[in-house]
Structure 1
Amino acid sequence: MNAQKHTPFLLALYRLWRLLWWLAGACWRVFRFGRLSSKQRDAAMMGIAERLLKILHIRLNVSCHAQCPANPPVLAVANHVSWLDIFVLMALYPSGFIAKQSIRHWPVVGTLAAHVGTVFINRHSRTDAGNVNQTIARTLAAGQSVTFFPEARTSDGLNVLPFKAALFQAAIDTDTPVQAMALRYLNPHGQRSTAVAWVGDTPFFASLWRIARQPHITAQVDFALLMGSGYTDCADRYQLKDAAEQFIRHKVNGDG
């Protein structure tokens, strides 16, 4: 195995400095969202995400791009490795996300999340899933895609945690297609990397610094065949969960 080299210290600091300018530009664009059409807002959000990935030298490698949910709405699901996952997916297609309530109060990120139609969930409440499903259903019915992470927490990216089925119900209630996506992060040698993983009690800035120190990272995104409305019409949420988990686990475990 090739030894992993880090980006020089000063270059990593330069990337963080560029992120400050990215943050300022993102704030300015978000505050102008009220003047933009929904298509313009979608394009702006995708541009913001693409810029972040470029600064951090995150390269996208997408398989089955024709399956990318470019024609909303879809209920999209992916495995969860890092805070970076949202920006990787946001750079590929317009969508709202499911996020924990505390993110709503994060500077800038919370505002960005709210403007793309994020549904904020109380992960400590078992009864909140029903209310969230109703909100997701309304968002899908309005023609906007929603993306969530069925593991409900991050892994190290080398395996997949068990999926939770509750939020798949919105796809059934609205006859909306389900799009499963597998995320993998690779180092410059094409080997699987845990540098992006944000697990345990790792502080956000420690995670950001670890990513900034990588020469570059490839985000591999594999799209499954779309589970169309005909499929969701005859399946229950557990069957949808099992089908999505099987595809994602197959890819993440290295069998795909």
Structure 2
Amino acid sequence: MASLSIARADALGPVRLFARLLSAALLLIFCLPAHYLWRAARQASPWPRLFLGGVARIFGAAVEIRGLPLKRDVFFIANHLSWMDILVMAGTTGTAFVAKDDVARTPVVGWLARLNNTVFVARTDRRSVAAQVDAVRAAVEAHQPITIFPEGTTGDGGGILPFKASLLAVLSPPPRAMRVQPVLIDYGHAMAEIAWVGDEPGGENAARILKRRGRFGARLTFLEPFDPAACADRKAIAAEARHRIAEALASAS
């Protein structure tokens, strides 16, 4: 009987995938006209945040917030586990992101990322670092929270990978009075199913999550902010943020 139940559950996976994608599409159809109306009125639009947070819930995330996220003049630095990180972080804080430029070329995803003011950078082109820092600085000037995943890739949740500090040059010195707030992202018991690691194709990872039964925990722990101006340079900022996130991960284990 157990094997029959598993077979039935697996058979329903494609149904869950289709239902979740359809629900996300319907939510987009509802949110998009309102977003453009807000933009036409030159008002800050809440709709990207509402859409991305709604999609996170549709895809199964039950977000738990620990700590107090800053609302503006903040640069979030977080560990990176999955593309779900973007949905849960944006839905919680309204943050924009710094992302690899190949995201911009991804159908639909790139377009949605632009709606949320994503800053695209070519991380493999060291010659363009100065231009990338300028692009991030311009985004910071808009007062929208910005999130960066300085590991540069996704991990399995068992530890924190080394941080790449190049884009943190935007904070050394910061363009104005602002704070860096480290964030620990954790999917708890569902980590092995949610984390995107190794050479797994993105489509397979997304399909696995969307076919998954039930909901999964997505805990965001917002740690104590610090003043980047008090750090000697970008490497010191990266080291301080990584230390705090690693400590929080060790405490949560």
Given the alignment, which residue of 162, 181, 184 partners 1:182? Answer: 184
Residue identity in the other structure for 1:34:
Y
TM-score calculated relative to the size of structure 1: 0.85
Q: In structure 2, what is the equivalent of residue 59 of structure 1?
A: 62
Structure 1 or 2, whichever has the larger Rg, is 2
Residue identity in the other structure for 1:185:
Y
Unaligned runs of 5+ in 1: none
In the aligned structure 1, how far is the partner of 2:13 from the partner of 2:137? 42
* Contact 1:59–1:218 (CA under 8 A) maintained in structure 2: yes
Q: In structure 1, what is the equivalent of residue 51 of structure 2?
A: 48
Residue identity in the other structure for 1:207:
N
Tell me how far 1:255 sits from its aligned partner. 5.1
TM-score calculated relative to the size of structure 2: 0.86
* Contact 1:22–1:51 (CA under 8 A) maintained in structure 2: no
Tell me how far 1:73 sits from its aligned partner. 2.4
Q: In structure 1, what is the equivalent of residue 248 of structure 2?
A: 251
In the aligned structure 1, how far is the partner of 2:213 from the partner of 2:170? 38
Structure number with higher helix proportion: 2
Tell me how far 1:174 sits from its aligned partner. 0.9
Given the alignment, which residue of 228, 232, 239 partners 1:232? Answer: 228
Residue identity in the other structure for 1:101:
D
* Contact 1:27–1:108 (CA under 8 A) maintained in structure 2: no
* Contact 2:96–2:145 (CA under 8 A) maintained in structure 1: yes
- Percent identity (aligned): 26
In the aligned structure 1, how far is the partner of 2:123 from the partner of 2:249? 25
Given the alignment, which residue of 34, 37, 40 partners 2:36? Answer: 34
* Contact 1:181–1:248 (CA under 8 A) maintained in structure 2: yes
Query: Are residue 210 (structure 1) and residue 212 (structure 2) matched?
Result: no
Query: Are residue 25 (structure 1) and residue 36 (structure 2) matched?
Result: no
Deviations 1:148-194 (A, max 9, x none): 1010111111211001111222123313311110011123xxxx622
* Contact 1:57–1:217 (CA under 8 A) maintained in structure 2: yes
Aligned residue pairs total 241
